[in-house]
Amino acid sequence: MSTQSRSPLDLPGGQRRSQPQPTTRVESRIYLIIIGAVLLLCVCTGLIFLVSRLFNGDNPLQPGTEVTTVATPSNATLTIAVSPAMAPTFDMLVAQFNAQKLQTPDGQPMVVQTVALEPDKMVAQSLAAPAFQAIAPDSSLWLNQLEQRWAAQQGAVEEAGSLIPIGDRRIDAPLRYATSPIVIVAWESVARDLGWPLEPVGWEQVQRKATRDPDFKWSHPSTNNASGLLATLAEFYAGAGLTRGLTEDAATAQTTLDYVRAVEATVRFYGEGEAVIMQRLASEGRDFLDAFVAQEQVVIAWNQLGRGERLVALYPAEGTLWADHPLALLELGANGETPVTPNQRNTYRAFGAYITGAEAQQQLLLAGYRPTDLSLDLSASGSPFAAGDAVDWRQPQTTLQMPSSSVIEVVQNVWWFTKRPTNVFLVVDTSGSMAEGDKLPSTQEALIAFITQMQGDRDRVGLIEFGSGVKRVEVLRRLDGTGRSEMTAIINNMTARGNTALLDAIWEAYIYLLREDDREAINAIVVMTDGQENASNLSLRELQKRFAQESGMSDTGTPESGTPVVIFTIGFGDDLDDAMLEDIARIGGGQYRRANETDIQELYRIISTYF
């Protein structure tokens, strides 16, 4: 029931008060004191009445009760965590949605903002109290993982085929707004060598090529990324000889494991998702990799740039899975938690309608994604799928069935025992400058996090500590329980002193790996320094020549023979020779990353995905 506002001069029945006569200043003060006292008494009485009813179990604010106070409007700004690869396209759509200046029923502006976040971090943060209210990962895999972990966190049990009651689930109102199949991406010349376009190409052809040609470099992201996990699931399907209904028994059968291990043994290294792949393509072009696993959209996005040789999408002959790009709202928790306001829910629904509408779907198509609006013709004029033969809208011929959550978990765990093992040397600067502030403790925490995240027991890690010279060389240790404990103790005992003999320490690690000559493993060096080279016997040029002599590489780092060694360099602080660290990383086809001390642990976590 609405209450019309009245003038202070109005009386019931339409009568009107007579105008008051002027009063003296003293009278005014007396009146004000009396009025203030009366108002205070009314407020106190009202509060006592309200509190007494609440304590008696009576809610005076039930529906139908008229409340004369004005409610504060709830926030209608919705923050969405989105996968880095989709972020540029997603942000464009967000800007267009915001430009419409829509409002909620109570007049609040509907605003969407985004934060780019890797899906595994979305899941981890969604289990607590995230700074976002909705998530847009690249695959429903992460929604399933979130619900599974949320159920375990809430102590839910499986009843009637549902892990947790619908009202207690973490997500609500999921929708798909784009799709993209997982493909093997290859440069056009490489694709033709593999048999494209005359013959189907799959995991078997890639494995055979990599086995026969030691210079052939291919990669797929780690299983922390959707494209890496979906490709791994496809390998397990191929090994089991199935296209649907992959079970735990089929995934762990010895013939399946042998097949996957044979394919994985030819991977040059693993790595991050499509966003980083696009960055490396832009900076390295044809020298990056011969082939890699990614979403089909990467092929269209690269070819639209018109930079050098084309990329071609190879749809695995054995079948593939899709990145289905869901959008989901973080709704009620098991304890009645409400992370979203009613107005944020309104904004979510409006944005969901927009992103699945005709205008947004057309723009997703132009960006290289397959829209969920099936009325859009992929072969029509102007569609990137009709612009050539690098992608084929009629593919894939075989779509694999997404396994159950339990099978996916088994595959993720088993993958650590089928993937290519790693020999990695951690080359750590413990010169005197590392004693400043929290540099050394932060580095020690990052190193321990690195070895903790490398699961299984087939990887080996060594450590070289340097200052004015090489202080300590710890040979490769297998990362089983004993090896992790030993490496943790060594890392915790590091001390800072001396100058910076960076190049000598790198050479020590490099020559050790070359003489180890373990071609079944990924061989890598991860270098960390906070300063400039000032104490080595070798110069950078001399180091490059020695690499060429010992490993059979050219001066530019192009492999000719020998055991390939990937080199990652990490620099932090104000006194760095960035150019030198970039050159060192280039020798091994790795990367240089610069960070502040607070970012070191995150960088080591990211680099661990390459192994």
493-549: per-residue pLDDT in tens? 999 999 999 999 999 999 999 889 999 999 999 999 998 899 999 999 998 888 877
Position 544 scores a pLDDT of: 86
Residue 263's pLDDT band, with cuts at 50, 70 and 90, is: very high
Position 336 scores a pLDDT of: 53
Q: What is the DSSP pairing of strand 422-429 with strand 460-466?
A: parallel
- Could you give the CA distance from residue 434 to residue 430 in angstroms, rounded to a whole number? 6
Q: Does 238 fall in a domain? A: yes
Position 451 scores a pLDDT of: 94
% residues pLDDT > 90 (the chain):
68
Could you tell me if 399 and 355 lie in one domain? no
| CA dihedral of residues 540, 545, 546, 551 (deg, nearest 10) | 120
Q: Do the Cβ atoms of 179 and 365 come closer than 8 Å?
A: no
User: What is the Cα 350 distance to its own chain's centre?
Assistant: 26
Record the tokens describing residue 24, joined without a space: 């003296």
136-173: per-residue pLDDT in tens? 999 999 999 998 888 888 775 444 444 445 446 788 88
Q: Quick one: average pLDDT of 336-352? A: 86
For the cut 80, the answer to whether the pLDDT of residue 318 exceeds it is yes
- Could you give the CA distance from residue 590 to residue 585 in angstroms, rounded to a whole number? 5
Q: How does DSSP classify residue 27? A: H
Position 338 scores a pLDDT of: 60
For the cut 60, the answer to whether the pLDDT of residue 60 exceeds it is no
Q: Which helix (H) or strand (E) is 208 found in, with range?
A: helix 203-212
Residue 552's pLDDT band, with cuts at 50, 70 and 90, is: low
Phi-psi group of 527: left, alpha or beta (phi > 0 → left; psi -120 to 50 → alpha; rest → beta): beta
Could you tell me if 229 and 150 lie in one domain? no
Position 75 scores a pLDDT of: 86
User: What is the domain count for the chain?
Assistant: 4
Could you tell me if 468 and 568 lie in one domain? yes
pTM of the complete model:
0.83
Three-class SS of residue 187? strand
Position 32 scores a pLDDT of: 34
Could you tell me if 411 and 276 lie in one domain? yes
Position 340 scores a pLDDT of: 85
Please give the residue range of the domain that contains residue 250: 182-323+395-415
Q: What CATH number is associated with residue 140?
A: 3.40.190.10
Position 54 scores a pLDDT of: 29
Q: Does 555 fall in a domain? A: yes
Q: Quick one: average pLDDT of 480-486? A: 93
Could you tell me if 245 and 341 lie in one domain? no
* pLDDT: which is higher, 43 or 603: 603
Q: Quick one: average pLDDT of 275-297? A: 94
Q: Quick one: average pLDDT of 373-395? A: 95
For the cut 90, the answer to whether the pLDDT of residue 30 exceeds it is no
- Could you give the CA distance from residue 117 to residue 134 in angstroms, rounded to a whole number? 12
Position 378 scores a pLDDT of: 97
Q: Quick one: average pLDDT of 555-582? A: 78
Could you tell me if 450 and 538 lie in one domain? yes
347-366: per-residue pLDDT in tens? 999 999 999 999 999 999 99
Residue 278's pLDDT band, with cuts at 50, 70 and 90, is: very high
One-letter amino acid for residue 121 of the chain: K
Q: Does 130 fall in a domain? A: yes
- Concatenating the DSSP letter of every residue in 418-431 gives TSPPEEEEEEEE-S
Could you tell me if 440 and 302 lie in one domain? no
Q: Does 262 fall in a domain? A: yes
For the cut 80, the answer to whether the pLDDT of residue 210 exceeds it is yes
Position 148 scores a pLDDT of: 86
One-letter amino acid for residue 365 of the chain: L
170-208: per-residue pLDDT in tens? 888 899 999 999 999 999 999 999 999 999 999 999 999
- Average pLDDT score, the chain: 84
Record the tokens describing residue 522, joined without a space: 């990924």
Residue given tokens 């179990």 in the structure block: 57
Residue 561's pLDDT band, with cuts at 50, 70 and 90, is: low
Smallest CA-to-CA distance from 235 within 201, 210, 263, 211 is with 263
Task: Please compute Rg for the chain using Cα positions.
Answer: 31
The residues near 38 (Cβ < 8 Å, ≥ 6 apart) are none
Position 47 scores a pLDDT of: 32
Q: Does 15 fall in a domain? A: no
Position 425 scores a pLDDT of: 97
458-476: per-residue pLDDT in tens? 999 999 999 999 999 999 9
- Could you give the CA distance from residue 139 to residue 226 in angstroms, rounded to a whole number? 6
Could you tell me if 101 and 58 lie in one domain? no
Position 457 scores a pLDDT of: 85
Q: Quick one: average pLDDT of 363-385? A: 96
Could you tell me if 64 and 84 lie in one domain? no
| CA dihedral of residues 148, 150, 155, 161 (deg, nearest 10) | -40
| Dihedral sign from CA coordinates of 287, 301, 114, 123 | negative
Q: Quick one: average pLDDT of 329-342? A: 71
Position 597 scores a pLDDT of: 65
SS (H, E, C) 375-411: CCCCCCCCCHHHCCCCCCCCCCCCECCCCCHHHHHHH
- Could you give the CA distance from residue 170 to residue 164 in angstroms, rounded to a whole number? 10
Could you tell me if 532 and 600 lie in one domain? yes
Q: Does 576 fall in a domain? A: yes
Q: Which of 69, 93, 126 is the last residue of a domain?
A: 69
Q: Does 10 fall in a domain? A: no
Q: Quick one: average pLDDT of 91-103? A: 98
Q: Does 8 fall in a domain? A: no
Could you tell me if 346 and 455 lie in one domain? no
Residue 66's pLDDT band, with cuts at 50, 70 and 90, is: very low
Position 535 scores a pLDDT of: 93
- Could you give the CA distance from residue 173 to residue 347 in angstroms, rounded to a whole number? 13
Q: Which of 69, 99, 126 is the last residue of a domain?
A: 69
One-letter amino acid for residue 47 of the chain: L
32-53: per-residue pLDDT in tens? 333 344 333 333 333 333 333 3
- Concatenating the DSSP letter of every residue in 494-520 gives ----S---HHHHHHHHHHHHHHH--TT
- Could you give the CA distance from residue 176 to residue 370 in angstroms, rounded to a whole number? 11
Could you tell me if 438 and 489 lie in one domain? yes
User: How open is the CA angle 278-284-289, to the nearest 5 degrees?
Assistant: 75
The residues near 36 (Cβ < 8 Å, ≥ 6 apart) are none
